[in-house]
Structure 1
Amino acid sequence: MIALVFSVLISLCLFYLGWCLWTIVIYHWLFSPIQQLPGPVLQRFFSTNLQFVMEPEMSPHYHDKWESVYGKTFCIHGFGKAIILPELDPRILTLDPKAMTHVLNEPITYPKPWQSRRLISELIGNGLFSAEGASHRRQRKVLNPAFSNHNLQSFGPLFTSQVFKLRDAWKALLGKEREVSIDVAHWFSRATFDVIGIAGFDYHFNALEAESNPVYLAYREMFQVGVDDGFTARSILEVYLPILKKIWPDKRTNTIRRSHDIIYGVGRQLLERRKKELEEDRRTSLHTKDLLGLMIFSNLSPDITEDQRISDQDMLDEINSFFFAGSDSTSLALSWTLYLLATTPEAQTRLRKEVLSLDADASFKAIDALTFLDKCCREELRLIPPVHSSLRVADRDDILPLSTSIQLRNGEVVDQVHVPKGTCIHIPIEGFNLLSSVWGPDAHRFNPDRWDNLPSAVKDQPGLYSNLMTFSGGPRGCIGMRFSIMEMKIFLFQLVRSFEFVAKEKVVKRNVVLTRPFVLGKRRSQLPIIIRMVDSRDEGTTL
């Protein structure tokens, strides 16, 4: 009997090894159409191409270089190759606008990989950013009313009041000093947290006044773990073996659990309070502007059938998700804009002259019409998108159409690529925004005036906003795009008229969940900028 069991186990092991040999070695090496795509060759065993397309200090150069050598669609490798195996984990990287539009417009065929969704949901729950298929459609339908043009206009006074608090805090730091160096990334993070707290569920963190609110501290601690540690070998192993978090929790796991206990605990209280308010007084719902109230109201709408409604847990996950996306991404966009203005004084002077042409209490309609402010925002969002890149996986066999033909390794020229089920598609958000063959030879430079005369190739680029991939595109395009742009413009309008910004530290970009600033040689993400007061009565003279 023992011999029989042993024989069966040996047979199973041999079968498994044979399957691995076929699927990994023979199929991928000899038959996979992905291996026929042109692309960079791995020079060393266990090496990878990923650092060249994932790290923003080098990725613009390599996107340009590889596009010029291999064309707009080519193959890169994630896990490299082993000593006796060919290149493993082949992925398609495409800078072809027709191909990318196809991928973005087919979210059912090209969802996010389950590994990515598990990493995201660990931090911010199963909200809009990790949901797929019917779940995503339900959530999107309930959330859409909160981001209507009409509702967004009501947020103008909120953005203005918060930037005034930030401005006053910076003035207090200056005191009688001529200048002071501040970490603008940290300050913007506090300000945008306050904004999304009020806009999200009418909750006041008061982070600009004192960083003491327990929910705010829980968010900060949880996000800091992700920023400091990034995706470690342990966190990646937990994706495949989630039981490790239960039987052997580490510091990261314990921090996230502790933070979630606080965040979801307070969130449930707020949810119950808002539901009770809306149920008791129907008139309250007609004047509701915060995201949580609008979600509740929309979810109870007769226009939504029972199977389209989302649960209370979904609502809590949405709020958690929007705190991450609404505060972290916008604060980084604002931080990088000030840095770019600080390193291009002539652009800063032009912008200051323009914003001072309006009174400080100007409406958003007037602010939105400022042409150079608009060009500066577009250019920053093009040059340093908060989300550097993303990943999709083919859920079925598909044909990827190309606008530019490519030559395969066997010499054949094709205008479409067969994509086998399970193939990963690298989404080079920054790559589309910075490709020199599209945006011109100065594509990697901050030049707001480029928007006056864009190359014709730009018009073919995919994206939700100004032919940029910054807010993605297709049915999963960023729902909060207009909210973020409105917040950016109002903050910049008030701050540039009040302060001059000077950069003296060498700052580099690193892809740590989002594209974050780091002082060269320092481990902690920060963006120190010198600020000086501006006398608005004298056309922007620095005091």
Structure 2
Amino acid sequence: MPTFLQSFFYALSAFVFLIGWLLLKRNFRSLKDIRGPSSPSVWLGNLSNIRYENEVGDNEFPWMKEFGGAWRIKGILGEDHLMLADAKAFQYIFQTSGYRFFKPNDYRTDEKMMLGPGGIGSAHGDVHQRHRRIMNPSFSTSQLKSFLPMLLQYSAKVRTSTLATKLKEGEFPNSAVEATFNIYPWLARATLDIISDAGFALDVGALDNSHSPLHEAYDGIFLDSTMYPHAWNLVFRTLWRYVPIPILLFVRYMPSREYTRFRQFNEFMRKYARNVILPNSQAKLDSKDMMSVLIRANEAESPRMKLAEFEVLDQISTILFAGHETTALSLTWWLWELAKYPEYQERIREEIVTARAKVSQRGATDFSASDLEEPLACSLFTVLQEALRLHPIVWHLKRAASQDDVIPLAVPVVGKSGKMITEIPVKKGQLIDLSVAAYNRNPDVWGPDAAEWRPERFLGDEQTKMTAVGMHGNIMTFSAGVQSCIGWRFGILTMQAISVALLENFEFHLPPNAKDLKIARKPANAMPPMVEGKPEMGIWMGLTVKSLST
């Protein structure tokens, strides 16, 4: 329950927002012919459907089926939002329009509170371009491929120490071959070790299960701060769109769990980056880690274009978060799908055997980047893509129109008037909710089996007929355009390296009690797996792991 002080702030913000809403309501009548679901709440509108749904897609998927790729939903106090899952609309907003559709203040403030006010994720326009130009050398293709030996080394460590230890400690007392356990924490430790080394030439020892303050800082952050927020908090946050961001940053001192957790995390990261990571990178400026490359690129810029110290520190927080937590969650969902469809595990293992033979023939000791691309490109690529499509970790994005505009649609929708709508005029300030989860399962994009597991959709010429949208395989999991995920290639390479190490040595199956432990895709800011009805278990993906070496 909120404290008296919290309730006072929430009530005051609702009152102020009501005045602003009455003044601005006339600006958003361009959506009057767009159909949409009825609003279940005067205060929260359809946000109560989205933010409190049991599982991501419980509402968006039926809405898309009923209304097509564009529909209107109600926000706080009946404010109109345009919700989209249409390919051409996504292409127009993220690629064609560049920065004309911006992240609203409430959305940007969330990122600033978590990752710091100077990070690339919350930057926009010229500031974002400056950040991206300086950071790009750290994420070039040649730079990322140089990390492959290190990635394979950590992947081998997952194989030889982490999972082997869990097998010996398994639930089967007479066996060191098979065990059932939650795989997510170990994948998170592995990806944290990887991004710490690749990003900052730093060994944090997360896989060794040693005391790692960095690992502990991330533990449970999504569940503590972003899942199922208090209803008054949603009303309070809507006011943020009308407040300058420098003032908004003071909301982090609000005495509730969402703000306290973000503030503590951000304060820890600033201190850790300043005292541990940055001195380590500055002492190794000839190194190839991401931060050393970034510092060299920053030094080469003119004084006016350089990143300030606080911006460099906040890039550290951004790289760490995006480089390990999202990758670990993606791998977790991928293994869950493979556990349900073991025939795909066998196909990948066959490709690994073929690739290993070629490595031996040329006298090498381990895979090269080209080995991961071919012949492993076939099954490994398609199953990774399909898992990323079905389980986008960032499942929902927000934008607002910076000017009056017209958004085209790939597939027309039927209006309230019965007319077919091929484009939607929007007014300056119009709020737009982009359902990545719905787009990734849109039958108009992916075919009638869009909700089903079928990796083969990424083979042949199926994709050549699509509207070009996403960065990788046309999925929106890494966003798209000028504000797409800058490290998506590193994420894919990391997943490939870990995937090969795991499937070459282990089989993954659903646990015997899988029917009693239903996994749900929970609507936190990042989409974690949790057991239905058992929130006390936290992020959980229990799989049965069997060693192939005995």
| Contact 1:245–1:253 under 8 Å retained in 2 | yes
CA change 1:528–1:22 in 2 (3 A) is same
CA RMSD of aligned residues (A): 2.9
Q: Who is 2:332 aligned against?
A: 335
Amino acid corresponding to residue 498 of structure 2 in structure 1: F
Q: Who is 1:41 aligned against?
A: 38
Confirm or deny that 1:103 pairs with 2:93: yes
Output aligned runs, 1:436-455, within 5 Å: 436-453=443-460, 455=462
Q: Who is 1:534 aligned against?
A: 548
Task: Give the alignment partner of residue 128 of structure 1, picking from 116, 120, 124.
Answer: 120
Deviation at 1:296, TM superposition (A): 0.6
Amino acid corresponding to residue 88 of structure 2 in structure 1: K
CA change 1:67–1:354 in 2 (3 A) is same
- Largest Rg, 1 or 2: 1
Amino acid corresponding to residue 531 of structure 1 in structure 2: V
Q: Who is 1:5 aligned against?
A: none
Identity %: 27
Q: Who is 2:167 aligned against?
A: 174
Distance 1:157 1:167 in 2: 15
CA change 1:170–1:271 in 2 (3 A) is closer
Task: Give the alignment partner of residue 423 of structure 2, picking from 404, 416, 419.
Answer: 416
Deviation at 1:379, TM superposition (A): 0.9
| Contact 1:96–1:402 under 8 Å retained in 2 | yes
Distance 1:416 1:387 in 2: 26
| Contact 1:364–1:490 under 8 Å retained in 2 | no
Confirm or deny that 1:146 pairs with 2:115: no
| Contact 2:113–2:252 under 8 Å retained in 1 | no
| Contact 1:462–1:473 under 8 Å retained in 2 | yes
Amino acid corresponding to residue 512 of structure 1 in structure 2: A
TM-score (structure 2 length as normaliser): 0.83
User: What SS class does the counterpart of residue 200 from structure 1 fall into?
Assistant: helix
Q: Who is 2:341 aligned against?
A: 344
Q: Identify the structure with bigger relative contact order (alpha carbons < 8 Å, sequence gap 6+).
A: 2
Amino acid corresponding to residue 543 of structure 2 in structure 1: I
Q: Who is 2:478 aligned against?
A: 471
Task: Give the gaps of 5 or more residues in structure 2.
Answer: 1-15, 169-174, 241-247, 357-364
Task: Give the gaps of 5 or more residues in structure 1.
Answer: 1-14, 82-87, 279-283, 536-542
User: What SS class does the counterpart of residue 296 from structure 1 fall into?
Assistant: helix
| Contact 1:56–1:388 under 8 Å retained in 2 | no
Deviation at 1:413, TM superposition (A): 4.1
CA change 1:145–1:400 in 2 (3 A) is same
Deviation at 1:465, TM superposition (A): 1.0
CA change 1:464–1:214 in 2 (3 A) is same
Deviation at 1:324, TM superposition (A): 1.1
Confirm or deny that 1:217 pairs with 2:220: no
User: What SS class does the counterpart of residue 219 from structure 2 fall into?
Assistant: helix
User: What SS class does the counterpart of residue 350 from structure 2 fall into?
Assistant: helix
CA change 1:197–1:507 in 2 (3 A) is same
| Contact 1:60–1:444 under 8 Å retained in 2 | no
Distance 2:155 2:281 in 1: 30
| Contact 2:114–2:263 under 8 Å retained in 1 | no
| Contact 1:439–1:454 under 8 Å retained in 2 | no
Q: Who is 2:184 aligned against?
A: 185
Amino acid corresponding to residue 82 of structure 2 in structure 1: I
User: What SS class does the counterpart of residue 471 from structure 1 fall into?
Assistant: coil
CA change 1:233–1:324 in 2 (3 A) is farther
User: What SS class does the counterpart of residue 76 from structure 1 fall into?
Assistant: strand
Confirm or deny that 1:264 pairs with 2:270: yes
Distance 2:383 2:524 in 1: 24
| Contact 2:154–2:190 under 8 Å retained in 1 | yes
TM-score (structure 1 length as normaliser): 0.84
Output aligned runs, 1:30-429, within 5 Å: 32-42=29-39, 45-46=42-43, 48-50=45-47, 60=57, 63=60, 65-79=62-76, 88-105=78-95, 106-126=97-117, 127-168=119-160, 169-175=162-168, 176-220=175-219, 222=221, 225-226=224-225, 231-233=229-231, 236=234, 237=236, 240=240, 243=250, 245-246=252-253, 249-270=255-276, 273=279, 276-277=282-283, 284-285=285-286, 288-301=287-300, 304-359=301-356, 361-369=366-374, 370=376, 371-429=378-436
Over residues 432-462 of structure 1, what are the superposed CA-to-partner deviations in whole Å (9 max), with x where a residue is unaligned? 1111233123221222222224646852151
Distance 2:440 2:19 in 1: 44
| Contact 2:34–2:71 under 8 Å retained in 1 | yes
Deviation at 1:71, TM superposition (A): 3.4
Amino acid corresponding to residue 116 of structure 1 in structure 2: Y
Q: Who is 1:494 aligned against?
A: 501
Deviation at 1:373, TM superposition (A): 0.7
Distance 2:48 2:479 in 1: 22
| Contact 1:392–1:424 under 8 Å retained in 2 | yes
Aligned residues: 501
| Contact 2:403–2:428 under 8 Å retained in 1 | yes
Amino acid corresponding to residue 92 of structure 2 in structure 1: H
Over residues 281-315 of structure 1, what are the superposed CA-to-partner deviations in whole Å (9 max), with x where a residue is unaligned? xxx53xx21121111100011xx333221111101
| Contact 1:128–1:139 under 8 Å retained in 2 | yes
Deviation at 1:218, TM superposition (A): 2.5
CA change 1:480–1:351 in 2 (3 A) is same
| Contact 1:221–1:255 under 8 Å retained in 2 | no
User: What SS class does the counterpart of residue 460 from structure 1 fall into?
Assistant: coil
